[in-house]
Amino acid sequence: MAHECIFHHSLDDMLGAYGFSKVQKGLQSLKEAGDPTVTALAADVMRRYGPQSARNEAREIVAAAGERFLDSSGDVSIRFGFMKSAYAGIAGWLRDRGVPFAFSNFELQGLIHDAAEWVKQSGVEVPSLAIQTPSQDTCVRDGMYSGRVVAVSDHHVEQKIGRNDTDIVRHDRSRLSLPLSRDDIVDICYQDGRGMVKSKGHERER
């Protein structure tokens, strides 16, 4: 199941718009500061693929780092500290999709590597959120989700519900009782698949 999950989604999908943006900005800052690891990876991407957009360059750097970011003990090497948030996000994404067991870093590294090789060899087209239906990969569990809205698209709302950059919940806008905007701080209470938007303790109706 873990392999199937990774095969059919891009890094953007797994980290979410906010999570991927944080990784991309972090890599850009390290590159501008002359970090030797990121600079070397970026040079390798340029050599292999030519000039890339900042977004595609970040994807390729993470993919390349994914094959070498662990040290001999299975911990994230100090040279690849920027990979911690990316791999934490991918692990959380897998567990949200029904892969509940704990991964070692080595196991997760192997999954990502195998998935990348499969995609290269098969030539399949990796879908993005832009062509998914509104109901896919969104929260429908009963319960309360509290936090700041960090991204809004035509079909989805992404809400940061914890301190970590990867603590993001994606909501289907059609299931919410009210429209939301970026930086709104709200409680969203789900019952029977419907999300009631609350703010400052007061329920807001259409």
Q: Tell me the per-residue pLDDT of 29-57, one tens digit each, with 9 for 90 and over.
A: 999 999 999 999 999 889 988 988 888 88
Choice between 181 and 138, residue whose per-residue pLDDT is larger: 181
Q: How far apart are CA 188 and CA 178, in angstroms?
A: 10
Please, which pLDDT band fits residue 200 given cuts at 50, 70 and 90?
very low
pLDDT at 137: 55
Please say if the pLDDT value at position 19 is more than 70.
Answer: yes
Q: Which of 110-119, 148-157, 184-193 has the lowest mean pLDDT?
A: 110-119
Phi then psi for residue 9, to 5 deg, are -140, 150
Mean pLDDT taken over the chain: 72
Nearest to 101 by CA among 91, 90, 86, 111: 91
- The CATH number of the structural domain formed by 143-203 is 2.40.50.140
φ, ψ for residue 115, nearest 5 deg: -65, -40
pLDDT of residue 140: 56
Of residues 159, 174, 131, the one with CA closest to residue 17: 159
d(CA 17, CA 27): 15
- Model pLDDT for residues 138-148, shown as the tens digit of each residue: 665 677 888 88
Residue 17 has pLDDT above 80, yes or no: no
**Can you tell me which residue has the tokens 């990121």?**
38
User: What are the helix and strand counts (H, E) for the chain?
Assistant: 6, 6
Higher pLDDT, 74 or 173: 173
Judge whether residue 4 has pLDDT over 50.
no
pLDDT, tens digit, 9 for 90 and up, residues 66-120 = 767 777 766 777 787 777 777 777 777 777 766 654 555 555 656 665 555 555 5
CATH 2.40.50.140 in the chain is located at 143-203
Distance, in Å, from the CA atom of 186 to the CA atom of 80, rounded to the nearest integer, reads 35
Q: Please check whether residue 174 is in contact with residue 206, taking contact to mean a CB–CB distance below 8 angstroms.
A: no
Most confident of 4-18, 32-46, 63-77, 122-136: 32-46
